[in-house]
Amino acid sequence: MRKKFVAGNWKMHGSLAVNLGLLHALREGAADLPAQVAVCVPYPYLAQARSVLNGSAVAWGAQDVSEHAQGAYTGEVSGAMLQDFGCRYAIVGHSERRSFYGDTDVVVAAKYEAAQAVGLTPILCIGETLAEREQGVTAQVVTRQLEAVLDRCGVASLAQAVVAYEPVWAIGTGKTATPAQAQEVHALIRARVARNSAAVADGLQILYGGSVKPGNAKELFSRPDIDGGLIGGAALVASDFLAICAAG
C-alpha cells in the first residue's frame, strides 16, 4: 500500500519574515497527518527550513539540482550542498525549468542521477503542454520524458524516486485536470514502469500537480494511481496546504 505524499513547491516566493510563520504553522499542523509532507523552498531559505522543520514530520528539499558534482559552474548548486542543508528531496524537470531554462530530457535525467548519487530523492516532473494535449500526444510526451530517466538510470532507480505528473496547462492557471484525466495519465505512467518492473511500479508514488486546492484534493487523491500532490500556489498559504495534506 503506497503512502500518500504531499509536497509544496514554493517556486520563487517568500522572504525570511513570511517563511517563518508558514514553516512554524506546517511544523505544528502536519504533526499528526497520515500523509508524508515536504516543502521545496528556494535555495537561500534551506537553512531556515532546516532550522524550523528539523525533528518535525515535514521534510524539506530544493526545486532543482545541478547535474554536476562540483566545479566551475557559476550559479549552480550541487546535490552535496543540498545534503549539507538536510534536504531529502530535489525536484527535477519541472516544466518551468524545461521551458524557461532549457532543461532537456537529457539534462533532467542527469540531474535525477546527480540527486540520487548523493542520496537525495528526486521528484521527477513530467507532463504535456496544452498544444500537445490538443494534438493527442500526451501519452507519447510523458512516456518520452519518463524513458529518458529509465534509459539513463534504470527502472530500479525509481524505487528511490517520486514522479509528479504535471500537465503544463493546469499549472497556476486554475484549470485542474479532472480526476479522470489525471488518473488516466497516472495509470499510463505506472503501466510503462511496470513493463520494466511490476514491483517498482507498484511501490512508485506518482503525484499530481496543477492547481490542486483544498476543494479538489480529496477527489484527486482518491483515484487509485494518484498518490498525492505537488502543490504550487496553495503551498504558500498554511491553512490551504495543510488542508490538502489532510486530504491525503
Interface contacts to ligand G3H, rule CB under 6 A: 9, 94, 166, 171-172, 209-212, 230-234
CB 229, min distance to ligand G3H, A: 8
What are the residue numbers of the active site?
A: 94, 166
Q: Is 10 marked as binding a ligand? A: yes
17: CB partners within 8 A, 6+ apart: none
Whole-number Å distance between alpha carbons of 133 and 151: 24
Residue 158 or 170: the one with the smaller Cβ distance to ligand G3H is 170
Is 172 annotated for ligand binding? yes
Distance, in Å, from the CA atom of 207 to the CA atom of 189, rounded to the nearest integer, reads: 11
Q: Which is nearer to ligand G3H, 153 or 171 (CB)?
A: 171
61: annotated binding-site residue? no
**Is 119 marked as binding a ligand?**
no
Nearest residue relative to ligand G3H (C-beta): 232
Distance CA 241, CA 109 (A): 29
Between 68 and 223, name the residue whose CB sits nearer to ligand G3H.
Answer: 223
> Minimal distance in Å, beta carbon 195 to ligand G3H?
27
Nearer to ligand G3H, 29 or 209 (CB): 209
211 carries a ligand binding annotation: yes
Q: How far is the CB of 123 from ligand G3H (least distance, A)?
A: 9
Report the nearest approach of ligand G3H to the CB of residue 137 (Å). 21
- Contact partners, residue 144, CB within 8 Å, separation at least 6: 105
Q: How far is the CB of 1 from ligand G3H (least distance, A)?
A: 25
User: Binding residue per annotation — 215?
Assistant: no
Read off the C-alpha cell for 166: 504535471
Please, which residue, 234 or 242, has the CB nearer to ligand G3H? 234
Q: How far apart are the first and last CA of the chain?
A: 13
Positions at the binding site: 9-11, 172, 211, 232-233
Positions at the binding site for substrate: 9-11, 172, 211, 232-233
